[in-house]
């Protein structure tokens, strides 16, 4: 067996979590990431028939039975993942009726997956249905995005269009806009299931007064989505106190959409 700590997906996740902590998006144990893996990716590194222990999931998601995921652990700090990945990460396989997971590697000190596991698995299921290439769900607490939810309407069309108006790249990177949920208790199945519903039609979800969750093919793509939302929110927060927030108008946004061949959400421009 090869050393799993040398696996490309492992090195990439370690690098990404270091960077996200450096940016201030994942303070303390804030934030979590999950990656859908194929057995062929992990079998050179671990024996898939050796189960360390079984972990309960708060709801059953039978459609994911047999699927493998690399998931950050509950209570773990992103700044420590690259220092001790076997403590902070785990590879799981969903089993039974979808309400349990077998731990195949990681969580070595008795830990478990993120408390937001219902959100992650539900989001993976909905994104797999919408785009089978989507394999990453990433949640963080980008500062300006959270700040924007304190001062801006949470209506999805309004929130999305404000971000689009802040800089040209926003509508180019997420022409479908962003989805928004009002404040809810985190780590509860309720917010997990509500989030999964949003991921049927969106790649980006804003949790008011909490953070942002995105889906993508790769860690880089998911990070790029969140990074672009955060840039738009940062510009908005820097100028909104002036009382003169204009931005790119609808006619100009339409020009951008036409120039880039974008599929903007119908009726929003």
Contact criterion met (CB below 8 Å) for 179 and 206: yes
HEC letters along the chain: CCCHHHCHHHHHHHHHHHHHHHCCCCCCCCCEEEEEECHHHHCCCCCCCCCCEEEECCCCCHHHCCCEEEEEECCCCHHHHCCCHHHHEEEEEEECCCCEEEEEEECCCCCCECCCHHHHHHHHHHHHHHCCCCCEEEEECCHHHHHHHHHCCCCHHHHHHHHHHHCHHHHHHCCCCCEEECCCCCCCHHHHHHHHHHCCCCCEEEECCCEEEEEECCHHHHHHHHHHHHHHHHHHHHHHHHCCCCCCCHHHHHHHHHHHCCCCCCCCC
Tokens, residue 38:
């194929």
> Of residues 102, 116, 156, 230, which has the active-site annotation?
116
Catalytic status, residue 266:
no
CA 191, distance to chain mean position in Å, is: 14
First-last CA distance in the chain = 55
Q: β-pairing, 89-95 with 100-106?
A: antiparallel
Please give the positions annotated as active site: 116
């Amino acid at each position: 067996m090869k050393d799993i700590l040398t696996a490309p997906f492992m090195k990439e996740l370690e690098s990404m979590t270091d960077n996200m902590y450096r940016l201030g998006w994942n303070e303390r144990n804030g934030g979590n990431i999950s990656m859908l893996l194929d057995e062929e990716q992990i079998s050179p590194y671990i024996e898939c028939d050796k189960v360390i222990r079984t972990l309960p999931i708060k709801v059953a998601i039978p459609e994911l039975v047999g699927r493998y995921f690399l998931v950050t652990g509950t209570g773990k700090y992103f700044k420590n993942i690259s220092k001790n990945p076997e403590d902070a990460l785990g590879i799981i396989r969903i089993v039974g009726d979808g309400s349990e997971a077998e731990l195949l590697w990681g969580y070595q000190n008795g830990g478990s997956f993120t408390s937001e596991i219902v959100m992650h698995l539900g989001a993976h299921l909905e994104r797999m249905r919408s785009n089978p290439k989507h394999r990453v769900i990433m949640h963080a607490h980008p500062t300006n995005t959270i700040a924007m939810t304190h001062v801006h309407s949470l209506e999805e069309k309004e929130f999305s269009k404000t971000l689009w108006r802040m800089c040209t790249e926003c509508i180019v990177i997420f022409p479908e806009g962003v989805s928004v949920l009002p404040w809810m208790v985190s780590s509860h199945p309720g917010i997990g299931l509500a989030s999964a519903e949003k991921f049927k039609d969106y790649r980006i979800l804003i949790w008011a007064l909490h953070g942002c969750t995105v889906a993508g093919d790769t860690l880089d793509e998911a990070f790029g989505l969140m990074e672009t939302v955060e840039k738009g929110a940062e510009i908005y927060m820097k100028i909104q106190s002036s009382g003169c927030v204009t931005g790119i108008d609808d006619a100009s946004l339409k020009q951008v959409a036409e120039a880039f061949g974008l599929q903007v959400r119908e009726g929003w421009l």
